[in-house]
Structure 1
Amino acid sequence: MSSSCSGNCGSCSSAGSCSEKKEEANLLKGVREAILVLSGKGGVGKSTVAASVAVELAKSGKKVGLLDVDFHGPSQPTLFGIQYLRLEEGQKGFLPVEVAGVKLISVGLVLDDPDHAVIWRGPAKNGALKQLLEETEWGELDYLVLDFPPGTGDEALSGCQLLPMPKRALVVTTPQEVALADCRKCVDFCAKLEVPIIGIIENMSGFVCPDCGSRHELFGSGGGALLAKKANAPLLAQIPMDPAFLRRCDDGELPAGLENSPAVRAELDKVVNAITAAK
């Protein structure tokens, strides 16, 4: 898509009409704020956290979009049970799939086969991200939640550069050092790109036995607090492992899983409150 025009582009009769076309093409203009969900480490449940935050924001009355930026492993369609749907196009661009009050866009919804590998180099990924961002009919949104792949590579950098609206980040980790070491790089990434960190989310924070009620720290404890101190940001939530919730996610029923997991939902409510309270 061309980002500039002198008013004599050949397709417009005047500078005024060209300006109108540019305004129509700016499909991100109705998005008030972007929330970047980041993690330096794979396997920490970042996609589940991103989806859950989006659903809980929508339940609180906010207008929410969710963009799955993990091109090589798009998990959002699976979490919502829509992996066999395909995006449709409207008059101006892609039409998001609306599920649980959330407008969802994912590269997993444009592939011919959800099991096909996406073998793209950096420029191809950057082009796809630009297209999904700028050629989607987002409408009016309070928040656009972006689920990035692990690390601080092309997708995260391009996302920060392409998003014209204010943006803040959530950093997801698990308690153990092997995750914290990589997530500290995410904190440094946000500092260098001047993206404020809303807070740290410690996922897989203990397991409470449904039979005896005993709590077990399967991945250690205290890691989220250490990362929050490093980031000079609050530890927003410590989300426990709930096997019933995880099973519902695997079955494509994440919203229903949240409804039936009060321990998980209580921690996510803290995240939602932190997002919406900031001015």
Structure 2
Amino acid sequence: MRFLLSTALVLFMLSRAASAQGSNDCSTIVKSAQDAASKADWVIEGTVDNMFRMKSSPRQIGVSVEDVKILYEAEHSPRFSTAMLETDSCFPNAMATLWGPAASKLVGKRVRLFGSRGTSGRGRRFFFLQTAEQAMPAFPATRKAYADKEYVPAVKKLAGGWSRIRSTDGNYSIEMPATATDITKGSGHQPAFMLRGTDRYGSTFIVVFERSGAGAQMAGTFDATISKPGADVITFKGADAVSTRGELPGSSGAKITHGLWLRVPGGTYMLGIVTDKEHETESLRSRERFFNSLTF
């Protein structure tokens, strides 16, 4: 599977400098309706008609709703009065909340669903649900804007030449076998936040978080990649993720790329290692620690 580093977003950032840990599960990203409202691409209210499970995605619970009212959209879509929606992989305790005895308590009730808008046939998926009887959260009138900026990163030195580095605007951190640059790109369709470092072999370690919304490039890349036949789909920190490997041409020879892509409430992460073929084995010894150290 090719590592799709060809998006304008990631190429811009590179040119500026040329199985999961259960304690940090993606279902913890949204802790309240207000959290959900700040991260949702859309929020709808409707009456629950039925619950279902698809053989193609047994981990997800489906909900059909009638008399739909759209409460919020970051990107406008055609109007609809009924919907069949599946839970996002980051929906907390989906089976306990929406299946079995819990499902019977929701059928016929008015609920609010908060979710992400997918592409490549992935449709809408919801990561939070509340009953309409509960207090309505505040929806953002405008989304926060960011300027293109490079920060001095917050770094905590670790043993063995590693560092834990925090993205200033992205509000995530990760461990790298190097120090890193901390870059915010605010001039695209959606803001994106990157940490980038180089190990002692000259291999690049990079993580980018792009906010969801209209024109989000990484969300489209993730949806297209995970939907392809033969995609290397895994579960990473509770989220559906896709692992990739490929080559990028370069003036000094081809670069080998290893990536991990995942969508979570609020946006898309891309973690990658770009290395010369001769140093691929050495640099990949750091891959699992690098990937698994991501904290949202």
TM-score by length of structure 1 reads: 0.23
Q: Relative contact order (C-alpha < 8 Å, sep 6+): which is higher?
A: 1
Which protein has the bigger helix share? Answer: 1
